[in-house]
Amino acid sequence: MAERPRVAFVGTGVMGAAMAGHLLAAGYPLVVFNRTREKAEALLAHGAQWAESPGEAASRAEVTITMVGYPADVEEVYLGVGGIVERAPEGALLIDMTTSTPTLAVRIAEAASARGLLTLDAPVSGGDVGARNATLTIMAGGAGAAFERAMPLFEAMGNTFTHAGGPGAGQHTKMANQIGIAGAMLGLIEALQYAKAAGLDLERTHAALSGGGANSWSWGAYGPRILSADFAPGFFVKHFVKDLRIALDESRALGLDLPGLTLAEELYARLQEADGAELGTQALWLLYERGEQAGGVS
């Protein structure tokens, strides 16, 4: 078997640590960086090497993967002084799996190309469960050659892979995904709120509707968490607000008016402001429980 390329993984948070762990288990030599080293300790204990910065990690690898928080973080680790684009060796493949902006993905691709580097914007869907189980959906934008080169790594982390088009296309696809998730989450919560108000047994109702047209990934993944009052983050509210705001900005740039998306962003922003930023997206249930969703779109 051919020797596997060394991979730098930047960002070992809720999802990144699991994703990096699958690469390590698949035999990829791994060098990691995270702003908080303790979040990488489990990977280091299993043989990953530590780097002192994103740029240093990239300088020691043939492939660099990033999974950070916000577009500002993506811009800093890639385009900042001493960052990934500056220090990655010529011919390296750079894969940003953060949900970020299509415009930034294009900028990174252009800067990387000038240095002889290949890039993909490859955000994921599936949350913490998908990351742990290596069942992520991966949506990639970039050159076809870059996508083919990345496929063995993607196969270690997910089970659905789409080459959506050129630079930025992966991020546009993820925005469509987030718009769909926002609608599904509102449907899940409002259906259960209705059942509760009608005096129905919520577990029995959830089970009954799991076999019908109301079923969705969110229904199956987040319904049981709501019913057991588990609001721990599989995906942070603060990150979902970020995603919905990107989706709104991109929609407006495309001349679209999406009232469902507008409502979801307002409700999640309200939850974030009510000390919900560090909770999981299913915690929108709490806003309804407190009656603080009333008022709709302002």
The residues that are catalytic are 174
Question: Across residues 74-86, what is the average pLDDT?
Answer: 98
pLDDT at 2 over 80: no
Mean pLDDT for 7-32 is 97
Question: CA separation (Å) from 148 to 64, 73, 87, 93, 145?
Answer: 15, 27, 23, 11, 5
pLDDT tops 80 at residue 294: no
Q: What's the CATH code, domain 7-166?
A: 3.40.50.720
Asked if the 172-289 domain carries CATH number 2.60.40.10, the reply is no
Where do the structural domains in the chain lie, given as residue ranges?
A: 7-166, 172-289
Among residues 174, 176, 179, 190, the alpha carbon closest in space to that of 264 is found at: 179
Show the CA angle centred on residue 95, arms to residues 94 and 101, nearest 5°.
115
Q: What is the pLDDT of residues 185-241, one digit of tens each?
A: 999 999 999 999 999 999 999 999 999 999 999 999 999 999 999 999 988 999 999
CB 126 within 8 A of CB 158: yes
Alpha-carbon span 14 to 68, nearest angstrom: 10
